[in-house]
Amino acid sequence: MPARFVYWMNVSVDGFIERAPGEHSGPDGPEWVSIDEELHREFNRRAAAMTLSVEGRVVRDMMDPYWPDARFDESLLPIEREYGEIYVAQPKVLVSRTRTTADHNTRVIGSDGRAIEALARIRQETEGDVGVGGADLASQLLDAGLIDELLLFTHPAVLGGGRPLFDPPRAGERAPVRLGLLEEQRFSSGVVLRRWDVLRSR
């Protein structure tokens, strides 16, 4: 059975993942994102259960070197240092036009016309859940019928604009994508986790 590609992301109530470019790059993230120890523990649990992680370059630059360095930063909470360990240990695929090498258990594939084909093969040859990070990459995979699940952490904020969860299709129009709710979980911070099955990919 092929792997399931899971696009997971923090998102506002009105469907945006970023109000301004680069706002996730700092250690604390944007002010509208409500991540406390309870939610971080859930992030860790979900990340550790992934077989593989697929990231675009923007997401990779956001994660590395911050999380690899976090493993040794005694000023951080144990739950944060633990996430650093999870991130480094997990096999990763980086999709990038500009980078040819990457550390921390990472395979790099070029972001050209063949990248989606390569990811389709990886999906077919892998088992378990594969985390997908990055709106551009997830949008291309959605249009190729390769996104199986959305794992969305909806934060109690309305941004009014910014980067949407999915980019517009690169060619033509995107048909409506029907979803089925698999799981819902609420956190004390007001964040609501919802897992959605992408029905179109069946």
| Exposure b/e, 62-85, CB count within 10 A at least 16 = b | bbbeebeebbeeeebeeebbbbbe
Cα torsion angle, 29, 35, 36, 38, sign: negative
Predicted TM-score of the model (pTM): 0.93
What pLDDT score does 195 carry? 98
CATH superfamily ID and name for 4-192: Dihydrofolate Reductase, subunit A (3.40.430.10)
Domain boundaries, the chain: 4-192
Above pLDDT 70, what percent of the chain? 96
SS3 1: coil
Judge whether residue 58 has pLDDT over 90. no
